[in-house]
Amino acid sequence: MNSKHWLSYYQQNRQNRPEPKWNSPSPLELSVQHILARSLSHFQLGETGGGTHLLDHACKQVSDDPVYLNALQYFIAEEGEHARLLERLVLRFGGVTIRHHWTHGLFRLVRQALGFQFEIQVLLIAELVGTAYYRLIRARTSDRVLDETCALLLKDEIQHVEFHAHWLGDMLSRLLPFAVSAWRTQFQMLFSAAAIVAWTDHGEALIASGSRRREFFREARKECIRFLHRVQVNADQHVAVFAAA
Ligand SMILES: [Fe+2]
Ligand SMILES: [Fe+2]
């Protein structure tokens, strides 16, 4: 894991971030705006306040890499920035931010159940599903501010997924092939369950913005397949390094 690279990436990514033009009028119908506001408020809740537990787990389980821990703090801060952007969007569409929702409670419960590695995995699954959602609402709506915000979120999330793919690739490179297969299987099962939960919660907003159920699951699967490929590439690179040593 090249932690120094990631620390430097997160430090630089804080600089010169464009701000969406919040005051531009929305061409979307009010009913669509309200449905989107409700859905986005759930994503906004998901982006808030997850850092303490994650860092706590990380300090106990990956304390041998302080640079990674530092990069992880920047990653958490970036998720906090996403919460800010999403809050602006929710308010713009006439919604309110929320403090509790069953999907968030379920997500937090599962995430904190089995230690740092599992927490990263659950977080990552939420990022993959979120990426599919942002891609679709961005592609299907014509709201400039929504487009600018989704562009910012997607640009960061692509790197978040790669950041976790590096760490998980490192972890998988130390396992026997049968254990890697078991890990990949459980990951896909958990991912499929998360995609179903996401559709239950956000299907109305996706439909209101012009997407269909099939499209959402296809987009989500694409994200999952891409991630599994990236984690394998990273694991193979680690194996090649220690095989050559
Ligand atoms: Fe995020
Ligand atoms: Fe993220």
How many angstroms separate the alpha carbon of residue 66 from the centre of ligand 1?
23
Which of 174, 191, 197 shows the shortest CA–CA distance to 227?
Answer: 191
d(CA 46, CA 193): 17
User: How many CA atoms does the CB half-sphere of 238 hold within 13 Å?
Assistant: 19
- Whose atoms come closest to the Cα of 128: which ligand? 2
Q: What pTM was estimated for this model as a whole?
A: 0.90
Instruction: Looking at the CA of 157, name the nearest ligand.
Output: 2
Each residue's pLDDT tens digit, 33-89: 999 999 999 999 888 866 777 888 788 777 788 899 999 999 999 999 999 999 999
Distance 65 CA to ligand 1 centre (A): 23
Residues 6+ apart with CB under 8 A from 77: 10, 14, 51
- Tokens representing residue 164 in the block: 């976790």
Which tokens hold the place of 200?
A: 């239950």
pLDDT of residue 112: 66
Helices and strands in the chain, H and E counts: 9, 0
Ligand nearest the Cα of residue 82 is 1
How many angstroms does the Cα of residue 74 sit away from the middle of ligand 1?
12
Per-residue pLDDT, averaged over 167-189, amounts to: 94
Gap between the Cα atoms of 206 and 195, Å rounded = 13
Nearest ligand to the C-alpha of residue 134? 1
Please identify every residue whose CB atom is under 5 Å from ligand 1, which is an ion. 79, 82
Query: What is the signed CA dihedral for 232, 227, 73, 96, rounded to 10 degrees?
Result: -170
Q: What is the pLDDT of residue 16?
A: 87
In the reported structure, the alpha carbon of residue 43 is separated from the centroid of ligand 1 by a whole-number distance in angstroms of: 9
